Amino acid sequence: MRLTTERDLTETEELLFVWRARQRVSQTVGGIIMHWKSLSRWCGVIAASWFGVMGCSSSSTNETARECTSGEVASCEHQSGCVAQKACDGKVFGSCECVGAGGSSGNGGSAGNGNGGVGGAGATSGASSGGSTTGGVGATGGAAGSSGSAGVGGTGGGGGCTGTQELCGGSCVELDNDAKHCGRCGHDCLAGTCSDGKCQRFTLASPKDPIGITADDTTVFWVDADAGEIQSAPRGTANQHNTLATGLTNPFAVVIQDSDLIFIEKATNGRVRRIPKAGGTPVGIAGSQVTPSALAADASSIYWGLEGTDQITDGTDTRPASNPQGIAIDAAGVFFTTFTEGSIRRAPRDLGAAQPTAELIASQTKPTAITVNATHVFWVNRDPSGGVYSLPKAGGPLITLDTTDTPYDVEVDASHAYWLTRESGGQLRRRGLSSGAVETLATGLGAVHSLVITSDALYWTVQHATNARVQGLAKP
């Protein structure tokens, strides 16, 4: 009996040998695959844990960790120091971008359509936002990728103005010549123009002979002595007026008391009368007044001067006053100028009271117009060597605001004293109440006479045979 070899195996035995060999190979390959799958799963867990991203896993449930939601916008700090924001793409915030002040925001981009990748044999397919990456050999394809989020709108364009322009109220303007923003944003020249950053005067009306003037919140009122009328115009307008009363005899001064205008007719047989501010028939307050001149009123009282009898009066009682040319009142007293004697005096509001008239200062040259604020009295000496002066009501040294040729009127607001002078062809000037230099606000005005201050402007009268006018200027 001879030994047999593989060559001696029968055909059946050969087939059995081959089958067993294939089984061993199959088992080996299967083990490798199982180990690879296990490794893949562990890789995905580790990557998701360490990095928050899908590194190796074929599972579409291992999504990226989100720090924000789509469309979310947050403030951020830009290296330039500008106002900046960053926008979310659905997962993370983008870069920090400056936000423009002027232009409109751009439209956001459309969302991308992401399709899941089809896995090839061997490797895991990694899903990507807006589309997928095809995997390597051997593994199942990943699930469809999520759609790309809409693009963030572009930031607005810059809002800077060019050249010498400045941004005022959302518009670029030239402060040198813009009548609504003259010299600074919001400085309105009313009916005037703007030149070199300064408002220019305007003509409110052109009456025949305007003298006394006053104003309320909406309207300027004045008397026209030559026409014998009281007229008015809306504040801040040009070249228009309304006639409120006619047939008057030399109307001279006008003031406001509540809803009425109080005025005097300066004549040897003069009168003090009133009319509604809207116009109407004058009503008498006092008749047979000998050359009434200065006039003042508040809610409860009216005072006027009488040149012909050298007195001041409230219509009932009187006080001596040598040629009174100006009257002003406060809660405690009546202040007046004596043109002939050259003094500034104060009487009690009750002119019939026993309290004497006090002389605040003497030796003045032709004092005329006068006004007061809470602490001081102001007046002008209407003389070629005259000036504008102030004195504390409680007593103190004389304050010289200006020395000027023939000043005509003075008024004050919360911060400045303003006056008219006929020096150098007629000027409007001012100075701070506490200190400061004299400023010339307008020149070449002509024969200026009376002044009134409103919240936003100054108005005055100019006498002239053929070119009389009421003019205005926006406050600086």
Rounded distance between C-alpha atoms, residue 297 and residue 299, angstroms = 7
- pLDDT greater than 70 at residue 193: yes
The string of DSSP letters for 122-154 reads SSPPPEETTEE----SBSPPPPPPPPBPPPPPP
What's the pLDDT score for residue 441?
Answer: 99
The string of DSSP letters for 373-404 reads -SSEEEEEE-STT-EEEEEETT----EEEEE-
What's the pLDDT score for residue 62?
Answer: 40
Owner of token pair 């960053």? 86
**How sure is the predictor about 72, in pLDDT bands with cuts at 50, 70 and 90?**
confident
- pLDDT greater than 60 at residue 48: no
What's the pLDDT score for residue 141?
Answer: 40
Structure tokens at 359: 């002389």
- Show Cβ contacts of residue 331 under 8 Å, excluding neighbours closer than 6 positions: 349
**How sure is the predictor about 334, in pLDDT bands with cuts at 50, 70 and 90?**
very high
- At position 256, the amino acid (one-letter code) is I
Contact status, residue 326 vs residue 379, Cβ threshold 8 Å: yes
User: Across residues 42-69, what is the average pLDDT?
Assistant: 45
What is the side-by-side order of every strand in the sheet holding 251-257? Answer: 251-257, 260-265, 270-276, 283-289
What's the pLDDT score for residue 458?
Answer: 99
Owner of token pair 């003090």? 272
Higher pLDDT, 359 or 78: 359
- pLDDT greater than 90 at residue 71: no
pLDDT in tens, 203-254: 999 999 999 999 999 999 999 999 999 999 999 999 989 999 999 999 999 9
Domains of the chain (ranges, CATH numbers):
114-153 (no CATH), 163-200 (no CATH), 207-474 (2.120.10.30)
Higher pLDDT, 52 or 86: 86
Q: Considering the entire predicted model, what is its pTM?
A: 0.69
- The lowest-confidence range among 23-32, 94-103, 144-153, 447-456 is 144-153
% of residues, the chain, pLDDT over 90: 65
User: Across residues 352-378, what is the average pLDDT?
Assistant: 98
What's the pLDDT score for residue 132?
Answer: 35
Higher pLDDT, 117 or 389: 389
**How sure is the predictor about 433, in pLDDT bands with cuts at 50, 70 and 90?**
very high
What's the pLDDT score for residue 473?
Answer: 99
What's the pLDDT score for residue 392?
Answer: 98
What's the pLDDT score for residue 69?
Answer: 74
- pLDDT greater than 80 at residue 280: yes
Owner of token pair 């593994």? 139
- pLDDT greater than 60 at residue 148: no
